[in-house]
Chain A
Amino acid sequence: MINEYDVIIIGGGATGAGVARDCALRGIKALLIERHDIATGATGRNHGLLHSGARYAVNDRESAEECIRENMILRRVASHCVEDTGGIFISLPEDGLDFQKKFIDSCHAAGISAEAIDPKEALIIEPSANPKLIGAVKVPDGSVDPFRLTAANILDAKLHGAHVLTYHRVDELVQQSGRVVGVKVTDTVSGEKKEFRATITVNACGIWGRDIAAQAGVKINMLPAKGSLLVFGHRVNNVVINRCRKPADADILVPGDSITVIGTTSTKVPFDECDNMYVTRDEVDLLLREGSMLCPALNHTRILRAYAGVRPLVASDDDPSGRSVSRGIVLLDHATRDGVEGFITITGGKLMTYRLMAEWTTDLICKKLGIDKPCQTAEKMLPGSSESKSCKRTAGGGSQWSCSASSATWRHGDNASKIDSSTAAKRALVCECEQVTVGEVEYAVKELGVNNLIDLRRRTRMGMGTCQGSLCAARAASVMAKAHGCTVEGAKSDLKRFVSERWKGMSAVAWGDTLREGELLCWLYDGVCDLSNDKITE
């Protein structure tokens, strides 16, 4: 591998992937380095809400405007990652209707369409919404799949010449006379040490960006804010339900693919907890209590799992106390800010604005490299999104393989045509809950940079359904082992990591049917598959 690049991007979240793609499209030689898999940080640990911006309209006009602009762009360029569900903001009797007027005016001022509708109409649009609602506003919310979005950006970046290294940890920023000139990394799978050089290094590490910046002697005042969410077993709602009040905990319910997500909480956590997020009992209680105000059906819907992410909130530079927190995009040129050349940090922002963050970053990179090429990411479709959304509706056509064909099209857009379904063996299901075939697993392994079962889950939804891997994990391990040619021991330890990761999310909500499912999971893998020497449930 050539060790000289124009740009090294550290961080494989949506932002890093977006920067890599933007650079590649502008002909800049880019290398992306990620210590785990893509979309493992905050990118993969949020609602998956395609914000209309309405949530921010009252308090943060700038964010609201960014959101609605990006919303419209993503619908176009990332159509296979986005679902146009629409959204409603409901007012409950205890909220009153005072906020609603201000809310609608602020939306309009930010360029967001917001239409007050009759409570009865709201219940027709979304029958699962709390029937006690006294008012509702329709907004252009949607849902977006962060794993697909990141994977599509990575795919396109690679198509245009970018290099991507996952499972590579940055050990050190290489500095020469006040300038960052490259990185020293360790391949965390093989243990091999490598060094790469580039004119510019971009820090796109979310909350972990503080530590990367510190290696260059740069201080960024960040505040880790944990947000916890719950995943429900099926699509309870088909329209995003928000609460029409000042933004608070657990007031957004988003349908995403075959499930529904409620969130979030917001708690400040110490930095040393960022690598090991957990959801507390109080957070689960709060999410359920507030969530059932949006949608009473949540009280009797199976909860699949709980997860939490860390928002990379950045304190303003002129406020050392850290109280004045911005939720907007933070782009730091450390040459002007700190006198460190060749080093840029992009942070803050949100999943919704990942493309804009990448655009700003790449604009700055271009300026520094003296390249005059315009950004194309607002017009150029992501791979998978080039055909119209309507192919989703017709895929399969209700025939024998309709469920898996439709599911694959939903996940990969027009790239689903690359999945081999020519024989019964390729069409055989690995994951029954989410209809992932052998052909799709092989496609993901070949094209989407899958290293292990957990990566495979992010690319295909394998193991994300109601059984949480009970039945599919072993089958997937077998297909993967064949594709990768790995040993029995390797496959087993991969399987163990996968099952343990599934159980971690289930354990926070392990009662009722989820506990029964967990029992079956343990029974199968602890007992039948002889993973018993090391407890799966620990």
Chain B
Amino acid sequence: MEKQYSQNNFEQCTKCTVCTVYCPVAAVNPLYAGPKQAGPDSERLRMKGAEYYDQNLSLCLNCKRCEVACPSDVRIGDIIQSARIKYSTKKPGLREFTLANTDLVGSVATLVSPVVNATLGLKPVRHIVEGVMNIDHRRIFPKYAFGTFEGRMKKRRKEQAAFSKQVAYFHGCYVNYNNPPLGEAFVKVLNALGYGVQLLDKEKCCGVALISNGFVNQAKKQAQVNLKSIREAQNKGLKVVATSSTCTFTLRDEYKHLLEIENDDVRDNIDLAVRFIYNLLTDGDVKLNFNPDAPRIKVAYHSACHMERMGWTCYSIELLKLIPSVELVCLESQCCGIAGTYGFKKENYETSQAIGDKLFKAIEESGCDYVSTDCETCKWQIEMSTTKKVLHPIEILANSLS
């Protein structure tokens, strides 16, 4: 059924409180009043004056699990994030700047990644980072790649152009700066399906980290650049496909709801890799040849929060089920606690780990060989907090092909 949103969306709330029951933060941190109160309840009061803004709204992870739980279609997470944008008087500092500017930091780090990775791996350095930046020393940074994914794809432009069918790939910062092999796995799968992969004319970070760290104007600028490129791709008849669930969610929903940038014209043309591939396979025109000798692996699938919000978890699960060498375990859907840059901040570290605790235990008990998820920050959190390695469904799919 089509979701119904009224003009005063917060008034659709009947105060049933199921959102607060599902809030991962409220469950572990008593400082946070929970989504009902932070969202629709207080939104009414904030209309009386800015003094009704509670700084603890910054404890919200923006996981949107409240919105998934809500039976009244209240966009609770959006109400909370919008209030932060409108009322927060906290100025973002050096830490926020560094965490949010994934493009800038990434392009510098990838030039000298061996040095950066080695340095950030040192305990004394992490203590200094904690002292200077308030980034928790226990937090392990994702490794940077040597050279970007974009650089690698430049060399393959001709090869990819040879395919009759094409898609545009929104790779996101993580694939570009940290994990180009995921991008390459995506290209491998798409090529096997008969599609060539091209990049957007210009791709900026989707802006999710900018929004959550208080750089809304910069996020708006980057959104405009991305939407321009996406429109150009759409005009060329290309679907825009992303491997990252959070990038996809940001491009499709957060641009309009939080940045108030119109994207209705391109929203349906932005797709998530697993969904795009699953639909191609089930439409019956194409087939994948799986390697009969691929080693059998047990995979535990973790549903990232933004996957849940999009309602697209089923595509990853069904796609993984199609792989003959994979034995799939579905983990109970719950937040891992990191929420992008949230878990990096010193003051959130304990909350972040407490939220993920049940998930980490479930992963260890599952007896899986790998964990799989569509979200890169869930990967960092799970790899840091469990003994398991995390792979994107597309990587597992690519590895299983002949």
Q: Do A and B share a complex?
A: yes
A residues near B (Cβ < 8 Å) are 233-235, 238, 257-258, 297, 300-302, 392-400, 402-403, 406-407, 410, 429, 432-433, 435, 465-467, 470-471, 513, 516-517, 520
Given A258-B45, A433-B44; A517-B14 close (CB under 8 Å):
yes
Which of B15, B37, B49 is packed against the most chain A CB atoms within 10 Å?
Answer: B15
The complex places the Cα of A433 from the Cα of B13 at a distance, in Å, of 11
Q: How many A-B residue pairs have CB under 8 A?
A: 97
Residues of chain B in range 59-76 having any CB-CB distance to chain A below 8 Å: 72
10 pairs of A and B residues whose beta carbons are closest in the complex: A467-B15, A302-B11, A235-B47, A234-B44, A233-B11, A300-B7, A406-B51, A520-B14, A517-B14, A398-B55
Q: Are B15 and A432 in contact (CB under 8 A)?
A: yes
Given A398-B55, A399-B54, A403-B54; A520-B16 close (CB under 8 Å):
yes
**Which residues on the A side are within 8 Å of B56 (C-beta)?**
399-400
Q: Are A400 and B31 in contact (CB under 8 A)?
A: yes
* A–B pairs, 25, beta carbons within 8 Å: A234-B8, A234-B43, A257-B48, A258-B48, A297-B7, A300-B7, A300-B8, A302-B8, A302-B11, A392-B51, A396-B51, A397-B51, A398-B89, A399-B54, A403-B54, A406-B52, A407-B52, A432-B36, A433-B44, A465-B41, A466-B40, A470-B15, A471-B17, A520-B15, A520-B16
Which of A393, A429, A432, A520 is packed against the most chain B CB atoms within 10 Å?
Answer: A432
Q: Are A398 and B16 in contact (CB under 8 A)?
A: no
**Is B178 interfacial (CB-CB < 8 Å)?**
no
B residues near A (Cβ < 8 Å) are 6-8, 10-17, 31, 36-37, 40-45, 47-49, 51-56, 72, 89
Given contacts A238-B47, A398-B54, 20 further A-B contacts (CB under 8 A): A234-B47, A258-B44, A301-B8, A301-B11, A302-B11, A398-B51, A398-B89, A399-B56, A402-B52, A402-B54, A402-B55, A403-B42, A406-B52, A432-B15, A465-B41, A466-B40, A467-B14, A471-B15, A513-B6, A516-B14
Q: Which of B36, B42, B51 contacts A394 (CB 8 A)?
A: B51
Q: Which residue of B lies closest to A399 (CB)?
A: B55
Given A234-B8, A258-B44; A470-B14 close (CB under 8 Å):
yes
Q: Which residue of A lies closest to B55 (CB)?
A: A398
B82 to chain A, nearest CB (A): 15
Q: Which residue of A lies closest to B43 (CB)?
A: A234
Q: Which of A234, A394, A402 contacts B11 (CB 8 A)?
A: A234
The complex places the Cα of A237 from the Cα of B307 at a distance, in Å, of 38
The complex places the Cα of A407 from the Cα of B37 at a distance, in Å, of 14
The complex places the Cα of A234 from the Cα of B48 at a distance, in Å, of 9
**Which residues on the A side are within 8 Å of B41 (C-beta)?**
432-433, 465
The complex places the Cα of A435 from the Cα of B46 at a distance, in Å, of 12
**Which residues on the A side are within 8 Å of B17 (C-beta)?**
471
**Which residues on the A side are within 8 Å of B44 (C-beta)?**
233-235, 258, 433, 465-466
**Which residues on the B side are within 8 Å of A400 (C-beta)?**
31, 54-56
The complex places the Cα of A42 from the Cα of B282 at a distance, in Å, of 69
**Which residues on the B side are within 8 Å of A398 (C-beta)?**
51, 53-55, 89
Which of B12, B36, B37, B54 is packed against the most chain A CB atoms within 10 Å?
Answer: B54
A435 to chain B, nearest CB (A): 7
**Which residues on the A side are within 8 Å of B40 (C-beta)?**
466
Q: Which residue of B lies closest to A394 (CB)?
A: B51
The complex places the Cα of A392 from the Cα of B52 at a distance, in Å, of 11
**Which residues on the A side are within 8 Å of B7 (C-beta)?**
297, 300
**Which residues on the B side are within 8 Å of A432 (C-beta)?**
15, 36-37, 41
The complex places the Cα of A467 from the Cα of B51 at a distance, in Å, of 23
| Interface of A: prevailing SS | loop
The complex places the Cα of A238 from the Cα of B36 at a distance, in Å, of 24
**Which residues on the B side are within 8 Å of A429 (C-beta)?**
37
Q: Are A407 and B45 in contact (CB under 8 A)?
A: yes
**Which residues on the A side are within 8 Å of B12 (C-beta)?**
513
**Which residues on the B side are within 8 Å of A234 (C-beta)?**
8, 10-11, 43-44, 47
The complex places the Cα of A125 from the Cα of B11 at a distance, in Å, of 24
Q: Which residue of A lies closest to B37 (CB)?
A: A432
Q: Which residue of A lies closest to B40 (CB)?
A: A466
The complex places the Cα of A302 from the Cα of B6 at a distance, in Å, of 10
A130 to chain B, nearest CB (A): 16
**Which residues on the B side are within 8 Å of A466 (C-beta)?**
11, 13, 15, 40, 44
Given A432-B41, A433-B41, A516-B72; A403-B11 close (CB under 8 Å):
no
**Which residues on the B side are within 8 Å of A396 (C-beta)?**
51
**Which residues on the B side are within 8 Å of A301 (C-beta)?**
8, 11
The complex places the Cα of A301 from the Cα of B44 at a distance, in Å, of 12
The complex places the Cα of A382 from the Cα of B72 at a distance, in Å, of 43
B84 to chain A, nearest CB (A): 12
A85 to chain B, nearest CB (A): 11
The complex places the Cα of A305 from the Cα of B37 at a distance, in Å, of 22
Q: Which residue of A lies closest to B46 (CB)?
A: A403
The complex places the Cα of A407 from the Cα of B47 at a distance, in Å, of 12
**Which residues on the A side are within 8 Å of B36 (C-beta)?**
432
**Which residues on the A side are within 8 Å of B11 (C-beta)?**
233-234, 301-302, 466, 513
Q: Are A433 and B15 in contact (CB under 8 A)?
A: yes
The complex places the Cα of A513 from the Cα of B9 at a distance, in Å, of 11
The complex places the Cα of A429 from the Cα of B15 at a distance, in Å, of 14
Q: Which residue of A lies closest to B54 (CB)?
A: A402
**Which residues on the A side are within 8 Å of B51 (C-beta)?**
392-398, 402, 406
The complex places the Cα of A407 from the Cα of B54 at a distance, in Å, of 13
Which of A394, A403, A517 is packed against the most chain B CB atoms within 10 Å?
Answer: A403
Q: Which residue of B lies closest to A395 (CB)?
A: B51
Given A300-B8, A466-B15, A513-B11; A435-B55 close (CB under 8 Å):
no
A234 to chain B, nearest CB (A): 5
Q: Which residue of A lies closest to B11 (CB)?
A: A302
**Which residues on the B side are within 8 Å of A402 (C-beta)?**
51-55
Q: Which residue of B lies closest to A471 (CB)?
A: B15
Q: Which of A233, A297, A393, A433 contacts B49 (CB 8 A)?
A: A393
